[in-house]
Amino acid sequence: MYNTERSEITHAIYDDAMTWTEERGERVEMIVDIYDCVDPANHQDLPSHTEKHHTLQHTGSVSVENRKHTAPVVCLCLLCFLLLTAVIVLYVCFTTERKQLLTHISNLTEEREQILTKYEQILNHNNNLTEEREQILTKYEQILNHNNNLTEEREQIKNKFEELQCGLYELDQRADNLKWIYYNFSFYYNSSKKKTWSDSRLYCQQKQADLVKINSREEQEFLRKVVGSDTFWIGLENSGEWKWTDGVKLANGYWSSGHPNSYGDCAKMSSTGWESHLCTNKEKWICERTICTYNKINPS
């Protein structure tokens, strides 16, 4: 009975050991040790079980070894797969970025060409403007030179006209040299007839002269000697105030005693000084004509 119970226990332990061996090969030796402790005398029955044990142990070892070798391979494959995936992703990203970069470079190249074209157009336009400016400056210089030439010709014509006029004056003076008296760059004409102040002035104007204008005491003394005991109209009248025929106001006068007065508005000269009389009175007159100074100004 004892043997029977021991045999059942042994078989139960052995079955459990087989189960553990199938699940994990490393526990086989532990099961065998337990079995020896339970029935140390029943070693004669162990050969078959030992063979089975060795077979199971060998199978478990092979399975463990296979698992040990399979895990690195799986990890390596997984790592290769990840690396391959990363390479593919990087390649796709690089290709996309490269295409974008090439497109951007192409756009920049086109913009550069457009900018260069516009720059050349602006440069050509600037050159054209520079040429036009030079042409305008050249024309302006030509016009300026022509204007200077015209001014010179005008001055020459004016000088020739003045020279001709001076010649006519000189001829007139030579033809009537007994009546024109020279003093201090002026010629004076003493009339022998009598006219009103207005008619006397008109006669002087017809001779390219005017009634005398006395500017200094020296000129006054010279004319006083010429006048002698006669009286002559001078170019001085009163139109609200005393003025010379050229419109200049009288500054210094050489009036006789009691003159000027309200009796007349035109002045005549006597040996004693100036006198105011009615302009309608008839008196002799003195014309003054400035000498031609052309040869003095342009000695050529």
pLDDT tens-digit series, residues 62-74: 565 666 678 788 8
Least confident piece of the model among 29-38, 68-77, 223-232: 29-38
Interval 107-128: pLDDT, tens = 999 899 999 998 989 988 888 8
Is this model's pTM higher than 0.95 or not? no
Provide the pLDDT for residue 297: 36
Provide the pLDDT for residue 21: 47
Provide the pLDDT for residue 294: 40
Q: Is the pLDDT of residue 88 over 50?
A: yes
Q: Is the pLDDT of residue 286 over 90?
A: yes
- Give the whole-number percent of the chain exceeding pLDDT 90: 29
Provide the pLDDT for residue 37: 46
Average pLDDT score over residue span 178-205: 88
Q: Is the pLDDT of residue 185 over 70?
A: yes
Provide the pLDDT for residue 71: 78
242 pLDDT band, cuts 50/70/90, is very high
Structure tokens at 120: 């050349």
pLDDT, greater one: 197 or 290: 197
Q: Is the pLDDT of residue 300 over 50?
A: no
180 pLDDT band, cuts 50/70/90, is confident
